[in-house]
Amino acid sequence: MAPAVIPSLTKLGCSVTVETGAGVAAGWPDEAYTEKGARIAASRAEVFAEADVILQVLCHGANDRTGRDDLKLFRRGQTLIGFLRPLGSPGTVKEVAETGVTAFAVEMMPRITRAQPMDALSSMGTVCGYKAVLLAADTLPKLFPMMVTAAGTISPAKVLVIGAGVAGLQAIATARRLGAVVSAYDIRPAAKEQVQSVGGRFIELGLEAKDAQDQRGYARAQDESFYQRQRELLGQVVAESDVVIAAAVVPGKRAPVLVTREMVARMAPGSVIVDLAAERGGNCEVTVPNQVAVVDGVTIIGYFNLASSTPTHASLMYSRNLAAFLQHLIKDGQIVVDMEDEITRETLVARDGQVVHPRVLELLVSSPAQATA
């Protein structure tokens, strides 16, 4: 949590305790929190012991390194809010539920107007899309903008963005600001106008996707024959691009492979692919999870959690999202779980020792192995 949001929480009647050193990487020493009225706890365990509400970035399920260590610190009746990766790791949601906490997964926030200030997934997508382009520009052995110089005219770089969600749209806008020629593709028909609104050229492949998006506005998974035809048609566009930003994800599913090894081989040496879907399996067939790989002279960047590489503003945006969510949940100084409210109902994943979100329950039933993961 950024120090700037502490006053908004105290106005709700909350006292705020911060783990010592929690803000250092984002540029906020402990003193920045105490100046805003927060108390600094000497250890993580102390925070868990005294807090009624735990605010985290990556909770167990989203945090594969140390998330499990938190399970023993929870107590029944506590409220947990953060990224829990409920559709990707339903078994870990079950483990969280068994501690007795009331858990809200921020990535399940509905895409409705009144929930926009609470939409942490969009905030992090914005940061990732921006940073992906900067990584690509830094790696590409070419300049992004067209330049007219005494040594002649420099042609602009060609950037292709696959997947025009929040991250993809920010990538388009950022690449355009750097002077690149930007094209984009998405299976959702509604994406065309959005791509054009930020200065991109929308690529139409002549493929008709069945039920291209769900009620939340996210892309739906398609069958393998669709993806095969899609790859065939995208091949030439990828080959002509200097940079590919791949940001095509389907909630709860493995990311579709849209850029094959053969497509990579057709790209010019020095080209760059930034695979924002790497954590979900990758849109590029040769992406190495959380690493940089060079294949046939093409650099493929598969880093996880790019938002953490811009910690100050990523944290500030996330803090504002969580503060808005708490303002929604807290009534008269208490967390109120109103199941008639869409925001509360859609984000609540665990309560009273049970997994309660229908989509997570469905995954647990259909994939018993994940339930015991």
Tokens for 365, please give them. Answer: 């039933």
The answer to whether residue 370 is catalytic is no
Distance CA 35, CA 4 (A): 10
Select which of 33, 70, 78, 122 is catalytic.
122
Q: Which residues of 114-131 are buried (b: 16+ CB within 10 A; e: fewer)?
A: ebeebbbbbbbbbbbbbb
The answer to whether residue 122 is catalytic is yes
The answer to whether residue 218 is catalytic is yes
Distance CA 324, CA 117 (A): 6
Select which of 52, 69, 114, 116 is catalytic.
116
Select which of 39, 111, 176, 359 is catalytic.
111
- Only one residue has tokens 């945006």, namely 317
CA 46, 304, 26, 108 torsion-angle sign: negative
The total of other beta-carbon atoms located within 10 Å of residue 365's CB is 10
Distances, alpha carbon 95 to alpha carbons 53, 272, 372, in Å: 18, 39, 9
The answer to whether residue 220 is catalytic is no
The string of DSSP codes covering 208-250 is --TT-B-TTSPBPP--HHHHHHHHHHHHHHHHT-SEEEE----
The answer to whether residue 116 is catalytic is yes
Distance CA 294, CA 47 (A): 43
Distance CA 161, CA 154 (A): 22
For the chain, where are the alpha helices, taking DSSP H only? Answer: 6-10, 30-34, 44-50, 90-97, 120-139, 166-177, 191-197, 224-239, 261-266, 311-329, 342-347, 358-366, 368-371
Select which of 39, 56, 177, 218 is catalytic.
218
Residue 366 neighbours by CB under 8 Å, 6+ apart = none
Select which of 70, 119, 186, 275 is catalytic.
119
Catalytic residues: 111, 116, 119, 122, 218
